[in-house]
Amino acid sequence: MTLEFASALDVGRARTNNEDSVALDAGAQVAVLADGMGGYNAGEVASGMATSLVCSSLVQWLGAHTAHTARELAQAMGRCVGHANRAIFDASNGNPHYSGMGTTLVMVAVAGGHLVVGHVGDSRVYRLRGGQLQRLTRDHSLLQEQLDAGLITPAQAARSTNRNLVTRALGVEAEVTLEARDHSLLQDDVLLLCSDGLTDMVDDEGICDLLCHTHASLQDACQALVGAANAAGGRDNISVVLVRAGGEAAAHGKR
């Protein structure tokens, strides 16, 4: 199965710097997205380290393991994230300008007939299939824990001031666990990886509506999502990656 990749990153309308980062390798069929946090430019450093280290190390592993199970791929993704986490953690503790930096991370890898989705934090992966949008990740956040415990309603969650408090992130502790699961991927499926700069501004119904409309290209669809987030206020950096099954194997956008 060939995959088409596209991405877009935007600073939004309230920030002066972009702490999101994206890394794509169309040949290896890997996409990684991160949303950094921290003072100075530390968030940008953390997300850049996460995407580059995780993507490059996973591509290297895939090149050396042409035959593997979905479980083995998920384990390899976890090790790559673990190594990146330690590098960010050490940098945070070794440089006062980077103190307290961290990043969310979400990634997909398609290899050997397997689609494995991994995430840490509240960046998300969705799958559009037959006009229906399904979220494939569950946020590692205080808000999600409150929802799961029945302490707040979805309507209250939409107005909560705790929307951006994550319970798991790279670089915060010496070890971190990647939540990884395998999913099916069929012809014409579209995967969306995104930071909360999109999902805080545009709800799932709005995202589905945008993706279901005809766009000249996958890159145009990325820009439409960014435009919708900015039109709704653009309170944070916005990063999106789209992956379409059955398209040309070409990557667009930047890290």
What mean pLDDT comes out for the span 212-218?
A: 84
Confidence class for position 141, pLDDT limits 50, 70, 90? confident
E strand map for 61-189: 102-103, 105-111, 114-120, 124-129, 132-135, 179-183
- pLDDT for 26-45, tens place per residue? 999 999 999 999 866 799 99
- pLDDT for 61-79, tens place per residue? 999 998 899 999 999 999 9
Confidence class for position 249, pLDDT limits 50, 70, 90? very low
Q: Which two tokens stand for residue 150?
A: 């029945």
Residue with tokens 């409309």: 213
Position with higher pLDDT, 168 vs 141: 168
What mean pLDDT comes out for the span 46-64?
A: 97
- Highest-scoring range by mean pLDDT, 36-45, 158-167, 168-177: 168-177
Confidence check: pLDDT of 146 > 60: yes
- pLDDT for 189-214, tens place per residue? 999 999 999 999 999 999 999 999 86
Confidence check: pLDDT of 219 > 70: yes
Mean of all residue pLDDT scores within the chain: 91
pTM of the model: 0.91
The residues, ordered by sequence, that sit 6+ positions from 105 with a Cβ below 8 Å of its Cβ are 32, 33, 34, 50, 51, 54, 81, 84, 118, 119, 120, 121, 123, 170, 178
Helix (H, G, I), strand (E, B) or coil at 229: helix
Confidence class for position 90, pLDDT limits 50, 70, 90? very high
Per-residue model confidence (pLDDT) at position 144: 72
Report residue 130 CA to chain centroid gap: 22
Spatial distance between the Cα atoms of 14 and 27, rounded to a whole number of angstroms:
35
Spatial distance between the Cα atoms of 185 and 1, rounded to a whole number of angstroms:
9
What is the third-level CATH fold of 3-245? Phosphatase 2c; domain 1 (3.60.40)
Per-residue model confidence (pLDDT) at position 255: 36
Q: Which of 248, 222, 125, 255 is nearest to 183 (CA)?
A: 125
